[in-house]
Amino acid sequence: MKIALVRKNYTHYGGAENYLKLVADGLASRGHEVRIFSSGDWPGKYSVTKISPFRKPSFLSNVLFAAESKRELQKDPADCILSFERTYFQDIYRAGDGCHREWLIKRGRLESVLKRISFSLNPHHRLLLFLENKCFMNSGKIIANSMMVKKDIMKHYRVDDGKIEIVYNGTDLERFRPVGTEEKAAIKERLNIKEEKVVLFAGADFKRKGLPVLLRAFSLIKRDGVRLIAAGKRPKAEFISMAKKFGIEKEVTFWGPEKKIEQLYAVSDLFVLPTIYDPFSNATLEAMASGIAVITTAFNGASEIIEDNVHGHVLKDPMDHETLARNISNALERSEMMGKEARIKAEEYPIGNSIEKIMNMISEYGAG
């Protein structure tokens, strides 16, 4: 079959982009012809139809990408179009970015009244909501990567239950695996990490992923021999200032983007992601597969596969830094046991299972 995959941008540390690559690789290994339609610069091994990026005005970029991708897809017809973007010319839409309307509500709870009003008037958000509605209406099938996302879509849009299928994210269980004591020590030495215990945070959007709350919580725990690593992007001055404000600047490393993120998982004892909203954090599952205890929030779809106090902890309120601090202290004390349980749970979610479910949907709604 000829299969088209649609995603607007590409960053090597983006969770959705890395998941798309895994799907593309899986489909190609099964003998399918796969082409990516994107404005981003993807690695050379992928066949890509480049869609000119629309940078100005920025608030129109999503709408213009949707229109241009439709034109390109019509010129190069596929047996099935699977979109990872809010577009309106596809057979199947994977709502990996969640429900924007719900995200605005959750974010709005943390902002002032004036900020919430500005969100409602912002043309970027208004157009994205327009696209989101059109995307849900025009898709033959919708893939939600968590029950949370499915409920959000049904709550805000008139989409039938049967149109939405839940396919949890999968991960590469070979790449993300527990390492032995000697290997862990060797990687620590190579990365110049001297502390006995490492708490890892990884995410491209520091604010949405909850780094401010984590920094505050980290300042409350006993930190002797403990280092916090924040990876995923180059930090803005506000986060460095925040670490100084809480008196933890010497115990926090702002790592920046890391292509070999598995090395950071390998040296870590605990992964913490106090996210405000995450459809299903790939990093959470990667950490579990790496044999690391995890702490996240109920606003992360990945929390649906986490048993509290077994694999780590699930925080009900993403702004509750005091409970988060207690959870971190508890998980660090029990990190070895929780990490083993986390790996066992992660083994239920190999990427192959996820691809197989997507393949079945392609057969039914694309080729049929």
pTM here?
0.90
Q: What's the rounded Cα separation, in Å, for the pair 47 and 290?
A: 31
User: Is 3.40.50.2000 the CATH number for 181-346?
Assistant: yes
pLDDT for position 53:
78
Q: What is the mean pLDDT of residues 133-146?
A: 96
Q: Under 8 Å CB-to-CB from 350, ≥6 apart: which residues? A: 170, 171, 173
pLDDT for position 117:
74
Specify the CATH superfamily of domain 2-170+351-367.
Glycogen Phosphorylase B; (3.40.50.2000)
User: 198-226: per-residue pLDDT in tens?
Assistant: 999 998 889 999 999 999 999 999 999 99
What is the DSSP annotation of 226-259? EEEEEESSPPPHHHHHHHHHTT-TTTEEEEE--T
Contact between 360 and 329 (Cβ < 8 Å): no
Do the domains spanning 2-170+351-367 and 181-346 agree at the CATH topology level?
yes
pLDDT for position 364:
78
Q: What's the rounded Cα separation, in Å, for the pair 101 and 105?
A: 7
- Residue 367 — pLDDT band, cuts 50, 70, 90? low
pLDDT for position 124:
86
Q: What's the rounded Cα separation, in Å, for the pair 261 and 268?
A: 11
| Domain boundary assignment for the chain | 2-170+351-367, 181-346
User: 281-331: per-residue pLDDT in tens?
Assistant: 999 999 999 999 999 999 999 999 999 999 999 999 999 999 999 999 999
- Residue 259 — pLDDT band, cuts 50, 70, 90? confident
Contact between 207 and 227 (Cβ < 8 Å): no
